[in-house]
Chains A and B, each alone.
Chain A
Amino acid sequence: DGGITQSPKYLFRKEGQNVTLSCEQNLNHDAMYWYRQDPGQGLRLIYYSQIVNDFQKGDIAEGYSVSREKKESFPLTVTSAQKNPTAFYLCASSIDSRLSTDTQYFGPGTRLTVL
């Protein structure tokens, strides 16, 4: 089955701890993205990667870090510098982010709660 997996589904962490959210895809897509959703708001872009070993900041990158060492994987680390990390995090991938018709495929999401 081709798709995007995110783990875990629910994550609890104590304030001040870094936490890494996993995102893996076997669709052979070049581009990958991380979004954050808060109640009443649209998906906001944290980081995106157009190709392996390259990534760019999105609109709300402060307090987050990513890596793209493999095409299939794009982990997101929520650092202690992120002031309000409790949110729902969605990972997505697409074939080629430069194409207007490029459609995103989403994972099931991770709900992070910082206590």
Chain B
Amino acid sequence: ILNVEQSPQSLHVQEGDSTNFTCSFPSSNFYALHWYRWETAKSPEALFVMTLNGDEKKKGRISATLNTKEGYSYLYIKGSQPEDSATYLCAFKDFNKFYFGSGTKLNVKP
């Protein structure tokens, strides 16, 4: 079983703050790293798929970077809004299976 760790476990920020969180994964035999967003009472939804060292992805105010050599990915949210409140999951893809971290729960206060 591969170990995927996310930090922090939870985060409380004010509207307008920028924030970031980390996903750590095994640096050997990298295949892909996926980020998902999971809002309360909804299903997890895909945010980014990252496959190459140095990958940077962006969707609106949310962006992600990838360092496969050291085994980490950062997710950044610029100017957080209350609608960004959710749990953000990262998942390390090992060929045909995913290993999920326990998530970072973000709460953005108006």
Q: Which partner residue on chain A sits nearest B4 by CB separation?
A: A42
Please tell me if the beta carbons of A42 and B43 are within 8 angstroms of each other in the complex.
no
The answer for the CA separation of A103 and B49 in the assembled complex, in Å, is 8
Complex CA gap A33/B93 in Å reads 13
| 9-residue interface stretch from B13-21, B59-67, B70-78, B99-107 | B99-107
In angstroms, Cα B98 to Cα A98, docked, is 11
Known: A42-B4, A42-B101. A106 touches B49 (CB 8 A): no
For residue A58, CB closer than 8 A to chain B, the reply is: yes
Q: Is B89 at the interface (CB under 8 A from chain A)? A: yes
- A45 and B1 CA atoms in complex are apart in Å by 10
**When the two chains form the complex, which single residue of A41, A100, A106 contacts B43, counting CB atoms closer than 8 Å?**
A106
Q: What is the interface residue range for chain A against chain B?
A: 20 to 34
**Judging by beta carbons under 8 Å apart, are A59 and B103 in contact?**
no
Q: Which residues of A contact B6 (CB under 8 A)?
A: 42
Q: Is A75 an interface residue (CB 8 A)?
A: no
A3 to chain B, nearest CB (A): 9
Q: Answer yes or no: B11 CB below 8 A from chain A CBs.
A: no
CB <8 Å contact, B31 and A40: no
Q: B42-60 CB contact bits vs A (8 Å, 1 = yes)?
A: 1111100101000000000
**How far, in angstroms, from A90 to B45 measured CA to CA in the complex?**
13
Closest to A6 in B: B43
**Which B residues are closer than 8 A to A by beta carbons?**
1, 4, 6, 9, 31-32, 34, 36, 42-46, 49, 51, 89, 91, 93, 95-103
A residues with CB within 8 A of B: 4, 31, 33, 35, 40-45, 48, 50, 58-59, 90, 97-98, 100-109
